[in-house]
Structure 1
Amino acid sequence: MQFESLDQKIPFEAQLQEKTGTVVLVNTVIVPDGLMDEVLESWAVDAAFMKAAPGCISTQLHRGTAGSDILINVAVWESTETLFKAFSDPEFQAKAAGYPEGVIVRPYLCEKVAVEGICVA
């Protein structure tokens, strides 16, 4: 599995170091042709580990329509600290190594933004 930064100015590793409250992990996964079933199996293993980790509020996987080979995982965490602890756990790292070759992931952290009359933070 190859990690790439979505934001070239702020790499994911730097985002994990910032102390925050609730964060949303948006992880784009680009799946090579013919490997979707294998990637979905690997993701389920990862997600079960993360979902059981302290600080994980929720996770939801999405797939692009019309036969797309792009998956997007949206996970809500209590803080960057709890996500970092789970992400850096050697057991999780071993599970993440089980993805097939050629998979590209682009994780990104964000926080809710309040826009008056539209949404709350």
Structure 2
Amino acid sequence: MDETVDVQGTAIGVGTLVALAFFGYSRYINETILGLDAAMLATGAFAATFAAVGLLHGAYGRRDLALAHGVAAVGLALVTLAINGPQVLGGLVLLVASGSYIALVTIRARNTETQAAG
């Protein structure tokens, strides 16, 4: 029997736990960690998670999903570090575009798997 490991799920899980730890620290202990806004670090952890998932997709040959996750990471980083409205808007446009592509590809892949199994 072939054993597979869902590394994408693991990467997302670890990134989410790190982000929640930063957010919890920000909410209940202190707003900053070594002078950095802990809520910003939480959002940055999610951006790093997108980048890690993009690298994983690239390693497995899914360059389209690697690029989409990379664009999502850049978009979230722009939103996190934005200084003015146009930067936030640019980040949100990147997030919506890449998120829409990721959702579309994921739905199509699941539909194809369902049709092949049934």
When normalised by structure 1's length, the TM-score is: 0.31
TM-score by length of 2: 0.31
Larger radius of gyration: 2
Higher RCO, 1 vs 2 (CA within 8 Å, ≥6 residues apart)? 1
Q: From the two aligned structures, give the one with the greater strand fraction.
A: 1
